[in-house]
Amino acid sequence: MQEEAKLISRSAKKALWQAPLLVLLALAIGMGVNQWRSDRLALVGEPAAIASLGPGNGVDEPAIDLAEARRLFDLEEALFLDARPASQYAEGHIRGALNLSWPQAETEFIHVADRLDAARVIITYCDGETCTLSHDLARFLTDMGFGNVRVFVNGWTLWRQAGLPTETKTPGNG
């Protein structure tokens, strides 16, 4: 009986140090897999809908609303960049917008670089209140030296609902 108690005690001690190791191993594997994903999951931060509420939100790039986006569009003072995949851009986008889909922005940047002006307002947008593509693209552009970058949260949906000018991709455009 005493031998059996010692055996159980040893098994319990062994399990106590193995359990945390298994948790750490699982965490390391999960983080490693996340690093290889093309659409990495954020490990920290707020959802886009919360993070887009305005200044002081912990997000580097300021969000703009529909009225401001329309004003800048009408005055031709901004360049709109659609952060959605090329297939969605081709189906419809804000008139005059260029496509620089995230996460391919690093490799596709060369195709739009000559049309970007660091002095001009650049507005990134995607579709949906929780879409983070436009935020990621805005951070990328800011890191590339563009200081006047804004995010139009849920831009495609709001623009369409307001009946503002849109277009579809045609040969030679975008």
The domain ranges of the chain are: 1-37, 48-167
The conformation of residue 103, written as its DSSP 8-state character, comes to: S
Output helix, strand, coil percentages for the chain, rounded to the nearest 5: 50, 15, 40
The DSSP code for 125 is: E
Q: What is the pLDDT of residue 169?
A: 78
Q: Are 174 and 97 a contacting pair, CB within 8 Å?
A: yes
pLDDT at res. 42: 62
Q: How far apart are CA 148 and CA 21, in angstroms?
A: 47
| Average pLDDT rounded to a whole number, residues 105-115 | 88
* Nearest by Cα to 150 from 91, 87, 73: 73
The amino acid at residue 52 is: S
- In angstroms, the CA 59 to CA 139 distance is 9
Helix H segments across 37-104?
48-51, 66-74, 86-91
Phi and psi torsions of 42, nearest 5°:
-70, 135
What the block records as the tokens of 7 is: 């055996």
Would you state the pLDDT for residue 59?
A: 46
Q: What pTM was estimated for this model as a whole?
A: 0.64
pLDDT (0 to 100) of residue 69: 97
Residues sharing a CB contact under 8 Å with residue 143, sequence separation 6 or more, in sequence order? none
pLDDT at 111: 87
Q: Which CATH class is domain 48-167?
A: alpha beta
pLDDT, mean over the chain: 81
